[in-house]
Amino acid sequence: MRKWLLLLLCLFVPQMICLAETMTVDADQFVLLQDKQQIDFFGHVVIHREDMTLKADKVRIWYQEDAQTGKKSLQQAEAVGKVDIVTDDSQGKSDYALFTTASNILVMKGDAHMTSKQGTVEGEHITYNTETKDTKVVGGESGKQVRFTFDEGVQ
């Protein structure tokens, strides 16, 4: 099924493979809405993009087409259900995630956890800048506090 998905993407959206950064997506199903510049992936979604892997139950991707070159670039990605994000230097889990390329901001909601070599942060809502590494963690309406665990021996 996954090879068929890639084949269909190559046939029906050939320039989608030529994103600004190479991205591959495996899923059980996808729906392309060309007029909205949106693609929805359903079921066991796994996205590989340079040094990042994202897994979720459902992912919606918005892209933009360059009028002159026709190349498409990722604008935003929204993941829902058992979200797992792994990069070279961190790992995150949540129920929901939204990444916006223009701002390099990743928002994770719903029992969110992020682990890096500096330590682990936990909260209901995490906002993370993938470029600057700035992080904001909020506990949530339930009154649950945020938690930061760090290893003092790590530099």
Is residue 135 assigned to a domain? yes
Domain with 72 in it: what CATH number? 2.60.450.10
N-to-C CA span, the chain: 44
Residue 51 sits in the same domain as residue 115? no
Domain final residue pick, 36, 55, 88: 88
Residue 77 sits in the same domain as residue 34? yes
Read off the pLDDT of residues 37-53 as tens digits, 9 standing for 90 and up.
899 999 999 999 778 89
Residue 44 sits in the same domain as residue 81? yes
CA distance 136 to 146: 10
84 is written with which tokens? 């797992």
| Confidence label for 13 from pLDDT (cuts 50, 70 and 90) | very low
Is residue 98 assigned to a domain? no
CA distance 61 to 48: 13
**Number of structural domains, the chain?**
2
Residue 79 sits in the same domain as residue 20? yes
Residue 21 has a pLDDT of 62
Mean per-residue pLDDT for 132-147?
78
134 is written with which tokens? 């700035």
Residue 18 sits in the same domain as residue 52? yes
CA angle at 11 for the pair 7 and 15, rounded to the nearest 5°: 105
CB 38 within 8 A of CB 45: no
Residue 75 sits in the same domain as residue 144? no
Can you name the residues that pair with 39 across neighbouring β-strands? Answer: 32, 61
The residue range of the domain holding 119 is 109-155
Q: Give the closest residue to 100 by CA, choosing from 61, 132, 58.
A: 61
| Confidence label for 152 from pLDDT (cuts 50, 70 and 90) | low
Reply yes or no on whether the pLDDT at 29 is more than 70: yes
